[in-house]
Copies of this chain bind each other. A is one copy, B any other.
Amino acid sequence: QQLLTGRASRPRPFRVTNADRSLKKGIMAYSLADLINKVGESLSVLCVSGLVLDEDGTGVDTEGFFQALPENSVLMVLEKDQKWTPDTKSPFRGQPSDF
């Protein structure tokens, strides 16, 4: 029954950053809807327009894909008109000119 509703029996940890990566919070969430609710409060985001994976900008739109994410996945919350951009400070994503 829990599988049918896509809602886990206990909350899982996620890490959520804002669009400029100036703030990152650990949040426990049962579901995507639950996370979106909590993100607004935790990161002071008034209107969440989307959640994407920080690593590659993949949009997390469905409960099923959210449930398939491993614990402690890093997500980025986007507000209206904000877009994901690669993390240029990440050691694995240096620009070619860095070499």
CB-contact partner of A28 in B26, B52, B58, B64, under 8 A = B64
Interface residues in A23-52 by Cβ distance below 8 A to B read: 23-28, 42, 52
The distance in angstroms between the C-alpha atoms of A65 and B97, with both chains bound, is 37
Question: Is the pair A58, B97 in contact by a Cβ cutoff of 8 Å?
Answer: no
Interface residues in A51-99 by Cβ distance below 8 A to B read: 52-53, 56-62, 64-65, 68-69, 71, 74, 86, 89, 91-99
Question: Is the pair A58, B96 in contact by a Cβ cutoff of 8 Å?
Answer: no
How many copies of this protein are present in the complex? 2
| Residues of chain A having any CB pair with chain B under 8 Å | 11-13, 15, 23-28, 42, 52-53, 56-62, 64-65, 68-69, 71, 74, 86, 89, 91-99
The 12 sampled A-B contact pairs (Cβ below 8 Å) are A13-B64, A13-B65, A15-B56, A24-B58, A26-B59, A26-B60, A28-B62, A42-B61, A86-B89, A94-B99, A96-B98, A98-B99
